[in-house]
C-alpha cells in the first residue's frame, strides 16, 4: 500500500461491520436451519430429502452472487484502479468457488435418492459446474504471476470476460439439455416452491451472505497485512531496523488494547 | 521567431511512480525544449527505465502529469505515440526474418511513404546496410542493437526515448549514435536517454533520479504508520503523524532520523 | 486496412518461416481423433453416433494448443511493447494476429475435418454442415483464445493455464457446433444452430479484440 490509497478507512469500516455481520450470520443461520431442518414439513414426493434444497439453492445463489461481485470489483479495479477492489476480487474467488462446490455436492447428494445416480447432466448442475471451472481458472490465473498485482489485474479482466460469458453458457447449456434430455426428471427448486419453504431459504441466503462478508473482511485484512510485510522486506529493512520494529510492536499492541 | 520555436514543449510535474508495491520516485519534474537532450542518471532501481516508460505512455504515473505542449499526453495517446520513438531494453528482432523484413512492419505502422528507401537510409545511417538481407538469427548482439536503433529512424518523430541505447554497441557505433542524436536535435527533436557509458552528446541536461527517491524511513513509516493512525487517535502529537497530515509533504519533511520514526509508530 | 494487412503479412511470414506449427496442429487433431476408436471400440454405429462431438472436441483442443504462441514470442522479444506504443490501435493489431492464427490453424482444421468424419464413419449428409459450422466456429475459437493468450503473458506455466481459462469459454461454441451437425444428421435444418454460432462469432468479433488489447496493455505495463 502507499500513501495514495489508505486502507485505514476500510479497516475502520470493517471493524464497525464485523460484529453486526457475525451477529446476523449466527442468528439467521440458526433460525433458518431450525426452520429448514425441523420446523418445515417434509415434501410429499421427496420426503426429508427436500431439506437438502435449503442449503443447495442458497449456495447456488451465492455462487452466482460472488461471481458477479468479483466482476464488479474487477471493473472497479480496471476503471478506477482502486487497489482494494483488486484485493476484494481476489478474496471473493475462493469463497464463491466454495459455495459453488457446496451447491454441486448437495446437488449430487440430492440426486442420489431422487434420480438414483450421483450425477445427472441436468442443465442447472452443469451450468454450476462450468461456473466452478471459471472460478478455478480465475484463481489459477491470479496466482500464476510473480507480481501479485499483475495477477490481480489479469484476473479482473478475466472476471469481466467471464461475467459476459456466464449468461451465454447458461443459455447454451439449457439449449443443449432440452435437446438431449427431455425434461421428465424431477427438478430441484423450480417455480413450484411452497411459500412456507421460502422463509428458511431466504434466511439461510442472508446467513450465507453474512458469512461471505465476514470471510471477505478477514481475507482482505490478511492480504493487507501480507502486503505490508512484503513491502517491508522489499524496502531492504536491515536487521537492526527489523529489531526496532519488533520492539515497537508490543508497545503498539498495548496501545491498541487499552 | 526563435522564442516560439524553442519554448518548452515536453514537461512532467509531480510525478510519482510505483513499481509493484514499491514507490520508486516521487515529486519528480522535468522539462525539455526542442533540441534538448535529457540524460537520466541514478543508481540501479532509481527508476530510469520506469520514467522512460511513463514518458512513452507504456505505464501510468501514480500521481502527476506528463504534458506535450501543455496537453496531458493521456488525453491524446495516438498523437503522442505518433510523435515518439522508444527504444527499450529488448531489440525486438525476429530471428527468422531478415533485417529488412524486421523493419518493414515498423515502417508500415508509421505511414512511411517509400518503405524500402526509408529502410535503406536508416540502415545506412547505422552502417549495417550490408546486413539488410541477412536473417536476424545471424546477427551479433551489437548488430541487433543497431537494427533496433535503425527502427527509430523510420518515419517522422519529435521525441526519442532511449533506454540504455549503448548496450552491446562498440565505440564506433556509440559515435554513430551520438551523431544521429545530434542530427535529430539539430532538427528540433527532443532526446531523453539513460546510459551507463558516456555517450558523447553535446551539452546534455542531467536529471538525477536519486534526488527524487523516497527516503527509506519516510516511506517505511507510510507503510506501517497506517495502524499508528488507525489505532492511536491521540497520536497526532508524535512527529510521525504530524508529517502525515499533508497529502504531499515537502521534501524537507522527509528527512528523519530512524529513531524518531519508530518512536512515532510505537 | 493497410495496417491489418501489414500485421497479417508479417505473422503469416513468421509462421511460414518457423514452419511446422500448422502441420503440428493438424497432426494433433488427427491423432486425438484417432484415439477415440481405441477408447470406445471400433463399432461403426457407435463411432458414427459420437463423430461430430469427437471432431469438435479434438478441434477445440488443437486450436487451443497453438494459442500460447499467439503473443508469447512477441512478448518475450519486446515486439509487443513496441506494438502497444505504435500509433495504430492495439485492437487492430490483435485482429490481425487473430486472423493469422485462424488462417494457420483454423483453416487447416476445417480441411482435415471431413477426412476424420469419414474415418469415424459419419453419415456424409453431415459433411457440409460440419465444414460450415467449423467455418463459423473456429474464428470464434481463435478470438476467444486470444483473450486467454493475452491474459497469461508473463505467467508461470502459461500453456496449462490458458487451457483452464479458455476451455470453459469454448463450451457454447462446442454445443452449437456439434448440435448443428447432429441436427443435419437427423435430417433437421441446422440453420438455427448456425445462426446462433454466427451471433457468437459477431459478439466475440466485437468484444474479444477489445478485451485482448486491454489484457496486452496490462502485460506490457
Question: Is it the case that residue A238 has pLDDT exceeding 70?
Answer: no
CA B84 to chain centre: 12
What are the pLDDT digits (tens) for B169-204? Answer: 888 888 888 889 999 999 888 999 988 777 777 778
- Residue A20 forms contact with C (CB below 8 Å): no
Rounded CA-CA distance B90/B51 in Å is 17
Mean pLDDT value across residues A97-120: 89
Phi-psi region of B127 (alpha: psi -120 to 50; beta: other; left: phi over 0): left
| Average pLDDT value over all residues in chain B | 77
Beta strand ranges found along chain B (DSSP E) = 10-19, 22-32, 37-41, 63-68, 71-72, 84-87, 159-163, 190-194, 205-208
Q: In this predicted model, which residue has the larger pLDDT, B85 or B43?
A: B85
Q: Sort out which chain C residues have CB atoms less than 8 A from B88's CB and list them.
A: 78, 81-82
| Cβ within 8 Å of residue A146, ≥6 positions away | C156
DSSP C121-151: T--GGGHHHHHHHHHHHHHHHHHHHHHHHHH
Instruction: Name the closest residue on chain C to residue B20, using Cα atoms.
Output: C221
CB-based contact A162:C171 (threshold 8 Å): no
Of the candidates B103, B93, B79, the residue with the CA atom closest to the CA atom of residue B152: B103
Q: What is the pLDDT of residue B218?
A: 55
Residue found by looking up cell 499533508 in the block? B246
Backbone angles phi, psi at B32, to 5 degrees: -150, 140
Q: What is the pLDDT of residue B219?
A: 53
A161 with C211: Cβ contact below 8 A: yes
The pLDDT-based confidence of A192 (bands split at 50, 70, 90) is low
Burial (CB count within 10 angstroms: exposed 0-12, middle 13-18, buried 19+), residue C42: exposed
Of the candidates A233, B188, B53, the residue with the CA atom closest to the CA atom of residue C217: B53
- Tell me how close the Cα of C77 comes to any Cα of chain B, in angstroms: 5
Q: Could you tell me the three cell numbers for A11?
A: 479497516
Mean pLDDT value across residues A30-56: 81
Q: Angle at the Cα of A119 (from A129 to A121), degrees rounded to 5?
A: 60
B216 with A236: Cβ contact below 8 A: yes
CB-based contact C100:C7 (threshold 8 Å): yes
Residue-range definition of the domain harbouring residue C89: 2-220
Burial (CB count within 10 angstroms: exposed 0-12, middle 13-18, buried 19+), residue B217: buried
- Tell me how close the Cα of A125 comes to any Cα of chain C, in angstroms: 15
Q: In this predicted model, which residue has the larger pLDDT, B2 or B92?
A: B92
Q: What is the pLDDT of residue B222?
A: 56
| Average pLDDT value over all residues in chain A | 80
Chains touching chain C through at least 3 C-beta pairs below 8 angstroms are: A, B
C86 with B109: Cβ contact below 8 A: yes
State percent of chain C over pLDDT 70: 99
Instruction: Name the closest residue on chain A to residue B227, using Cα atoms.
Output: A8
Q: Could you tell me the three cell numbers for C50?
A: 459420437
What are the pLDDT digits (tens) for B12-47? Answer: 988 888 877 677 888 888 988 888 889 888 888 888
C18 with B97: Cβ contact below 8 A: no
Among A227-241, B65-79, C111-125, where is mean pLDDT lowest?
Answer: A227-241
Q: What is the pLDDT of residue A248?
A: 41
B:102-131 residues touching chain C, CB 8 A cutoff: 104-106, 108-111
| Cβ within 8 Å of residue B124, ≥6 positions away | none
- pTM of the full structure: 0.83
- Tell me how close the Cα of C174 comes to any Cα of chain A, in angstroms: 10
Instruction: Name the closest residue on chain C to residue A130, using Cα atoms.
Output: C168
| Cβ within 8 Å of residue A56, ≥6 positions away | A103, A106, A107, A110, A188, A189
C156 with A145: Cβ contact below 8 A: yes
Chains touching chain A through at least 3 C-beta pairs below 8 angstroms are: B, C
Phi-psi region of B13 (alpha: psi -120 to 50; beta: other; left: phi over 0): beta
CB-based contact B128:B97 (threshold 8 Å): no
Give the residue extent of every domain in chain B.
2-197, 216-265
Give the CATH number of domain B2-197.
Answer: 3.40.50.300
- Residue A129 forms contact with C (CB below 8 Å): no
When CB atoms are compared, the residue of A133, A141, A151 closest to C168 is: A133
Question: Is it the case that residue C13 has pLDDT exceeding 90?
Answer: no
Q: What is the pLDDT of residue C28?
A: 93
Per-residue three-class SS string for B71-94: EECCCCHHHHHHHEEEECCCCCCC
Q: Could you tell me the three cell numbers for C195?
A: 445462426
Rounded CA-CA distance A63/A209 in Å is 11
When CB atoms are compared, the residue of B21, B230, B247 closest to A227 is: B21
What are the pLDDT digits (tens) for C102-152? Answer: 999 999 999 999 999 999 988 888 899 999 999 999 999 999 999 999 999
When CB atoms are compared, the residue of C7, C89, C220 closest to B58 is: C220
Among A190-194, B148-152, C163-167, where is mean pLDDT lowest?
Answer: A190-194
Give the residue extent of every domain in chain A.
53-184+197-229
What are the pLDDT digits (tens) for C44-101? Answer: 889 988 999 999 999 999 988 888 888 988 999 999 999 999 888 999 999 999 999 9
C152 with A144: Cβ contact below 8 A: yes
B104 with C10: Cβ contact below 8 A: yes
Mean pLDDT value across residues C6-19: 84
C87 with B104: Cβ contact below 8 A: no
What are the pLDDT digits (tens) for B134-172? Answer: 888 898 888 999 999 999 988 888 999 999 888 888 888
Name the domain count of chain C.
Answer: 1
Phi-psi region of B84 (alpha: psi -120 to 50; beta: other; left: phi over 0): beta
Strands B10-19 vs B22-32: parallel, antiparallel or unpaired: antiparallel
Burial (CB count within 10 angstroms: exposed 0-12, middle 13-18, buried 19+), residue B145: buried
When CB atoms are compared, the residue of C151, C167, C179 closest to A176 is: C179
- Tell me how close the Cα of A221 comes to any Cα of chain C, in angstroms: 26
- Tell me how close the Cα of B100 comes to any Cα of chain A, in angstroms: 35
B92 with C77: Cβ contact below 8 A: yes
Question: Is it the case that residue A71 has pLDDT exceeding 90?
Answer: yes
Burial (CB count within 10 angstroms: exposed 0-12, middle 13-18, buried 19+), residue A109: middle
- Tell me how close the Cα of C150 comes to any Cα of chain B, in angstroms: 16
Q: Sort out which chain C residues have CB atoms less than 8 A from A164's CB and list them.
A: 207
| Cβ within 8 Å of residue C117, ≥6 positions away | C51, C55, C126, C127, C130
CA B74 to chain centre: 16
Among A217-221, B116-120, B233-237, C163-167, where is mean pLDDT lowest?
Answer: B233-237
Rounded CA-CA distance C54/C86 in Å is 43
Question: Is it the case that residue B235 has pLDDT exceeding 60?
Answer: no
| Cβ within 8 Å of residue C32, ≥6 positions away | C58, C61, C62
What are the pLDDT digits (tens) for B161-171? Answer: 999 888 888 88
Q: Sort out which chain C residues have CB atoms less than 8 A from A145's CB and list them.
A: 154-156
A145 with C175: Cβ contact below 8 A: no
Amino acid at each position: 500500500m502507499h500513501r495514495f490509497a489508505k486502507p485505514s478507512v476500510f479497516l475502520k469500516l470493517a471493524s464497525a461491520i464485523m460484529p453486526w455481520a457475525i451477529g446476523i450470520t449466527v442468528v439467521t443461520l440458526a433460525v433458518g436451519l431450525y426452520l429448514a431442518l425441523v420446523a418445515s414439513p417434509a415434501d410429499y414426493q421427496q420426503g426429508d430429502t427436500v431439506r437438502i434444497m435449503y442449503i443447495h439453492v442458497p449456495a447456488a445463489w451465492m455462487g452466482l452472487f460472488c461471481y458477479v461481485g468479483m466482476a464488479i470489483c474487477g471493473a472497479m479495479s480496471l476503471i478506477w484502479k482502486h487497489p482494494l477492489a483488486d484485493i476484494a476480487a481476489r478474496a471473493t474467488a475462493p469463497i464463491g468457488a466454495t459455495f459453488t462446490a457446496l451447491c454441486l455436492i448437495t446437488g449430487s447428494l440430492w440426486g442420489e435418492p431422487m434420480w438414483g445416480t450421483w450425477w445427472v447432466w441436468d442443465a442447472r448442475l452443469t451450468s454450476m459446474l462450468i461456473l466452478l471451472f471459471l472460478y478455478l481458472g480465475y484463481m489459477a490465473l491470479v496466482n500464476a504471476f510473480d507480481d501479485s498485482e499483475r495477477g490481480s489485474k489479469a484476473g479482473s479482466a478475466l472476471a469481466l470476460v467471464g461475467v459476459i460469458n456466464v449468461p451465454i453458457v447458461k443459455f447454451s447449456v439449457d439449449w443443449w439439455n432440452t435437446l438431449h434430455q427431455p425434461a421428465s426428471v424431477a427438478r430441484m427448486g423450480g417455480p413450484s416452491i411452497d411459500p412456507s419453504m421460502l422463509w428458511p431459504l431466504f434466511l439461510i441466503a442472508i446467513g450465507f451472505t453474512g458469512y461471505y462478508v465476514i470471510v471477505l473482511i478477514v481475507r482482505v485484512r490478511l492480504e493487507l497485512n501480507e502486503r505490508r510485510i512484503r513491502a517491508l522486506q522489499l524496502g531492504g529493512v536491515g536487521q537492526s531496523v527489523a529489531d526496532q520494529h519488533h520492539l515497537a510492536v508490543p508497545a503498539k499492541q498495548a496501545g491498541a488494547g487499552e | 521567431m526563435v522564442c516560439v520555436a524553442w519554448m518548452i514543449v515536453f514537461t512532467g510535474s509531480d510525478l510519482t511512480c510505483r513499481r509493484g508495491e514499491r514507490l520508486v520516485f516521487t515529486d519528480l519534474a522535468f522539462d525539455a525544449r526542442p533540441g534538448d537532450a535529457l540524460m537520466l542518471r541514478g543508481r540501479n532501481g532509481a527508476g530510469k527505465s520506469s520514467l522512460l516508460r511513463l514518458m512513452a505512455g507504456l505505464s501510468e504515473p501514480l500521481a502527476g502529469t506528463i504534458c506535450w505542449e501543455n496537453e496531458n499526453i493521456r488525453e491524446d495517446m495516438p498523437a503522442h505515440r505518433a510523435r515518439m520513438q522508444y527504444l527499450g531494453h529488448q531489440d525486438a528482432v525476429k530471428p527468422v526474418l531478415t533485417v529488412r523484413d524486421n523493419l518493414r512492419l515498423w515502417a508500415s505502422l508509421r505511414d512511411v511513404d517509400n518503405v524500402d528507401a526509408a529502410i535503406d537510409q536508416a540502415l545506412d545511417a547505422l552502417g549495417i546496410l550490408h546486413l539488410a538481407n541477412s536473417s536476424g538469427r545471424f546477427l551479433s548482439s551489437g548488430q541487433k542493437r543497431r537494427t533496433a536503433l535503425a527502427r527509430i529512424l523510420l518515419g517522422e518523430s519529435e521525441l526519442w526515448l532511449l533506454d540504455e541505447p549503448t548496450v552491446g554497441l562498440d565505440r564506433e557505433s556509440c559515435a554513430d549514435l551520438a551523431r544521429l542524436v545530434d542530427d535529430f536535435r539539430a532538427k528540433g527533436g527532443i532526446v531523453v536517454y539513460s546510459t551507463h557509458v558516456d555517450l558523447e552528446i553535446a551539452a546534455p541536461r542531467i536529471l538525477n533520479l536519486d534526488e527524487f527517491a523516497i527516503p527509506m524511513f519516510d516511506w517505511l513509516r507510510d507503510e506501517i504508520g497506517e495502524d499508528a493512525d488507525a489505532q492511536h487517535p491521540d497520536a497526532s502529537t508524535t512527529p510521525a503523524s504530524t508529517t502525515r497530515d499533508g497529502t504531499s509533504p515537502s521534501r524537507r519533511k522527509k528527512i528523519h532520523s530512524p529513531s524518531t520514526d519508530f518512536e512515532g509508530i510505537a | 486496412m493497410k495496417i491489418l494487412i501489414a500485421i497479417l503479412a508479417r505473422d503469416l511470414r513468421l509462421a511460414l518461416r518457423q514452419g511446422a506449427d500448422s502441420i503440428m496442429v493438424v497432426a494433433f487433431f488427427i491423432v486425438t481423433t484417432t484415439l477415440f476408436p481405441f477408447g470406445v471400440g471400433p463399432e461403426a454405429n457407435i463411432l458414427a453416433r459420437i463423430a461430430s462431438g469427437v471432431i469438435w472436441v479434438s478441434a477445440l483442443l488443437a486450436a487451443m494448443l497453438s494459442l500460447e504462441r499467439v503473443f508469447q514470442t512477441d512478448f518475450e522479444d519486446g515486439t509487443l511493447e513496441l506494438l502497444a506504443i505504435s500509433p495504430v490501435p492495439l485492437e487492430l493489431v490483435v485482429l490481425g494476429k487473430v486472423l493469422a492464427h485462424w488462417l494457420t490453424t483454423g483453416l487447416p482444421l476445417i480441411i482435415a475435418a471431413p477426412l476424420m468424419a469419414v474415418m469415424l464413419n459419419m453419415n456424409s449428409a453431415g459433411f457440409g454442415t460440419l465444414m460450415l459450422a467449423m467455418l463459423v466456429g473456429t474464428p470464434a475459437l481463435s478470438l476467444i483464445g486470444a483473450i486467454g493468450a493475452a491474459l497469461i503473458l508473463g505467467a508461470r506455466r502459461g500453456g496449462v493455464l490458458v487451457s483452464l481459462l479458455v476451455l470453459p469459454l469454448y463450451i457454447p461454441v462446442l454445443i452449437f457446433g456439434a448440435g448443428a451437425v447432429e441436427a443435419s444428421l437427423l435430417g433437421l435444418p441446422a440453420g438455427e444452430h448456425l445462426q446462433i454460432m454466427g451471433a457468437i462469432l459477431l459478439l466475440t468479433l466485437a468484444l474479444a479484440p477489445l478485451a485482448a488489447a486491454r489484457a496486452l496493455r496490462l502485460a506490457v505495463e
